[in-house]
Each structure stands twice: as C-alpha cells, then as structure tokens.
Amino acid sequence: MDWFEIKNWLELSTGLARDSLHVYAGVGVQLFVALILRRSLASPVPWLFVIFAAFANEFYDYNVVHASQNREPVYFDEAVIDIWNTLLLPTLFLVIARFWPNLLTGSVAKNGKPDGADGDSQSS
C-alpha cells in the first residue's frame, strides 16, 4: 500500500474531507514530535517537522499523483490550500506557546495574580 492509497483509505474510513485531514495531520505531527523529542510547543523543532511533512506530502502528490494527470495549474492551487491547512494551527500553537504561554497554562505570578496583571493599585 503506497502513501496515496493510505490517504484515500483515511479519507474513506473517517468520512472526513482531505482538507480536514490536513488540519489534523499538522496538529498530530506537531504534538507527536514534541512528545517524542520532549520539546515544548514553544520550540520551533516540532513546527519544522510539520513544515517538512507538509512539503514532502505535496512533493509526493506532485511527482506521483498529479504529474501523470497533467493538471499543473489546478495542482498548485490545491497545494497552496493543503499547505495552508496543514500549517495554520501548528503555527498558531507555536506563536501562542512562545509569546503568550499564559493563554495555554493559566499560570499565576508570585503575587497571586495572573501573569500580566500588574499591581498598579497598591493597598496601604
């Protein structure tokens, strides 16, 4: 069973559209790599694996599936949509985990207030 048949099987067995599968695959790769490599989602390493997986998938689709069908103008439009769907949520997770981790953890600062809540009003 080659990669194209696996993707068809996933689409048929889950009942999900290919666009949805790209979204789930991107998040799944990011979380799996972060877990295996013991990296935070704030690290760019899991995100880079998602980029590699997205482009490797599109390279495979172009060389194996679409090259024989001579659909280049349509293929490139579909490829951009596939890459967008695959990278959107992992990119969002990376940016939030890196720059606004409080949104994910709800951590509290040492003063007992949520991080970012400055104590401008002092009590006497």
* Tens-place pLDDT, residues 55-99: 999 998 888 776 666 666 677 888 899 999 999 999 999 999 999
| Closest-CA residue to 47 (of 16, 86, 102, 81) | 86
Round to whole Å and give the CA distance between 28 and 49. 11
Round to whole Å and give the CA distance between 113 and 42. 23
In a domain, 51, yes or no: yes
Structure tokens at 71: 């659909």
For residue 68, the enclosing domain spans 26-101
Round to whole Å and give the CA distance between 118 and 44. 30
The yes-or-no verdict on residue 114 having pLDDT over 80 is no
Q: Measured between alpha carbons, how far apart are the two ends of the chain, in Å?
A: 73
In a domain, 77, yes or no: yes
In a domain, 118, yes or no: no
In a domain, 106, yes or no: no
In a domain, 11, yes or no: no
Rounded to two decimals, the pTM is: 0.78
Q: How many domains does the chain have?
A: 1
Which one is predicted more confidently, 33 or 18?
A: 33
In a domain, 65, yes or no: yes
Q: For the residues 105-110, what does the mean pLDDT come to? A: 67
